[in-house]
Amino acid sequence: MAVTSRSKHSRDPWMQVPREAGIALRAGVPRARRRVIATIRAEVPAYNLPLEGEFGQVVRAGVDGALNRFIDMIERHDADALGSSRSLFYDLGRRAFQEGQRLDALLRAYRVGARVAWREIVTSCEAAGVEPRTIYQLAETVIAYINELSAASTEGYSAESAAAVDVTQAARQALVELLTVSPPPDPVRLSAAVQRARYCLPERIAALACAAGEPADLAARVGPSAIGARIAGLVCVLLPEPQDGDEARIADALQGADTAIGPTVAPNSTAQSWEWARRALQLVHSGAIERRGLVHAEEHLATILLNGDEQLVGALSTRRLAPLMGLSARHGQGLPETLLAWLCHHGDADAAARDLHVHPNTVRYRLEKLRHLYGDALDDPDARFELQLALRASGVRMTLERPARSGLRQPPTAA
């Protein structure tokens, strides 16, 4: 990433400082460096480390670079001289992120360094007989300079953070893809993918299927141990086994989006949890499973099973529901729900009426219509079984709490 350099000519405070002041300051650089480093180590805990090795080299190079380039700007009166300093401290910001340092610690080190350096500047200027007016100009210059270096390091830190997020999310996308395929990956390959994703694989996993959202954002809202990816047009979020109280938090994080959750499984069975969650969500969208917030696939296994083969479901629906499909909305009102309730209660009209929240005579009236449509098939055990399967696969509910309709969704076309 290119670092933006400034060029404001006479408006930059260092352009107003006499060049001679830089010469006066140059001799005090070694002493200033020692005192700046010592004070930073004493006042900033993150930098209270031995200065041997690579860390010490980075600290010394940063302080040397800041002091010497500050003096260079004054001596040269070059409006673009700040650019090289910005590049150096942009890279220091990037490196701070790479090494796991906090940005606030780095910026605090800059402020401490600026305070100590200012004391050394005043001492050097007084020893060299520099005019007070020039010292005042140097004060303004120090403030502007440290602000520029802090901004450059912040840009570098942010850029490296964003790049790391992209890399991590790409690795997590790959890990989710690996976990949701069948057969499961071999342990060596899985272990390598887990390390690249910087993820701690839980002992038990549940898969969420969501129709919309950004995978990383959705995973972050679901919980700190969740990871997300886009799989086959849906968002897949993998999370550890939900505990008591987790479901309300998860539902709140999903903000009302259509979502289904698969069973909790061992990591090598994640593909099963994802498949059930994915199919349950599809059935929510088709109307076979009712929308009720977070849908648990395990509570709808029969519906998932019935809809596992769309061609078979289409053939069964065409065969058994054709008499109902041909009715108008007015003539077919309540018949599918009544038929399913009656079948589920083994022909008990009173029990069916209670489930449907209607009078038993209403159920009997509708049954007369159904007898006219189906005839003796309602007394055939095989036909009754297939009718119940077809009605359930077509999304019929045993309730009339929602507005009345025919209760049937169009079955898939049979081959």
Question: Are both 298 and 329 inside the same structural domain?
Answer: no
For position 363, which CATH number holds? 1.10.10.2840
Render pLDDT for 81-138 as a digit per residue (tens, 0 to 9). Answer: 677 778 888 888 888 888 878 889 889 999 999 999 999 899 888 888 888 888 888 8
The predicted structure's pLDDT at residue 262: 92
Render pLDDT for 208-240 as a digit per residue (tens, 0 to 9). Answer: 999 888 888 888 888 878 888 999 889 999 998
Return the C-alpha torsion angle 356, 361, 362, 363, nearest 10: 60
Question: Are both 268 and 378 inside the same structural domain?
Answer: no
Question: Are both 155 and 15 inside the same structural domain?
Answer: yes
Looking at the structure of the chain, the number of domains it has is: 3
Contact 209, 260 (CB under 8 A): yes
Question: Are both 296 and 373 inside the same structural domain?
Answer: no
- Domain boundary at 306, 322, 342, which? 306
Residue 402 falls inside a structural domain: no
Residue 208 falls inside a structural domain: yes
Question: Are both 201 and 214 inside the same structural domain?
Answer: yes
- Domain boundary at 149, 165, 181, which? 165
The predicted structure's pLDDT at residue 209: 93
Residue type at position 65: G
- pLDDT above 90 covers what percent of the chain? 20
The predicted structure's pLDDT at residue 287: 79
Question: Are both 115 and 226 inside the same structural domain?
Answer: no
Residue 176 falls inside a structural domain: no
| Residue-wise burial string across 112-131, b where 16 or more C-beta atoms lie within 10 A, e elsewhere | bbbebbbebbeebbeeeebe
Residue 2 has pLDDT above 70, yes or no: no
Render pLDDT for 251-276 as a digit per residue (tens, 0 to 9). Answer: 777 777 888 999 999 999 999 999 99
Question: Are both 367 and 348 inside the same structural domain?
Answer: yes
Domain span at 223: 189-306
Residue 360 falls inside a structural domain: yes
Question: Are both 201 and 66 inside the same structural domain?
Answer: no
Q: How far apart are CA 58 and CA 64, in angstroms?
A: 10
Render pLDDT for 289-315 as a digit per residue (tens, 0 to 9). Answer: 877 778 899 888 877 877 777 777 777
**Nearest Cα residue to 300 out of 261, 345, 341:** 261
Residue 339 has pLDDT above 80, yes or no: yes
Residue 183 falls inside a structural domain: no
Indicate the average pLDDT of the chain: 82
- Domain boundary at 250, 280, 306, which? 306
The predicted structure's pLDDT at residue 16: 82
Residue 239 falls inside a structural domain: yes
Residue 400 falls inside a structural domain: no
How many Cβ atoms sit within 10 Å of the Cβ of residue 4? 11
Question: Are both 150 and 84 inside the same structural domain?
Answer: yes
Question: Are both 156 and 258 inside the same structural domain?
Answer: no
Helix axes 215-222, 246-254, angle to 10 degrees: 150
DSSP string, 252-298: HHHTT--EEE---B-GGGHHHHHHHHHHHHHHHHHTSS---SEEEGG
Question: Are both 222 and 321 inside the same structural domain?
Answer: no
Residue 3 falls inside a structural domain: no
Question: Are both 144 and 219 inside the same structural domain?
Answer: no
Q: How far apart are CA 35 and CA 40, in angstroms?
A: 9
Helix axes 103-128, 19-26, angle to 10 degrees: 100
H or E, element range at 230? strand 227-231
**Nearest Cα residue to 37 out of 134, 150, 116:** 116
For position 208, which CATH number holds? 3.30.70
For position 86, which CATH number holds? 1.10.490
**Nearest Cα residue to 17 out of 140, 147, 150, 145:** 140
Banded pLDDT at 413 (limits 50, 70, 90)? very low
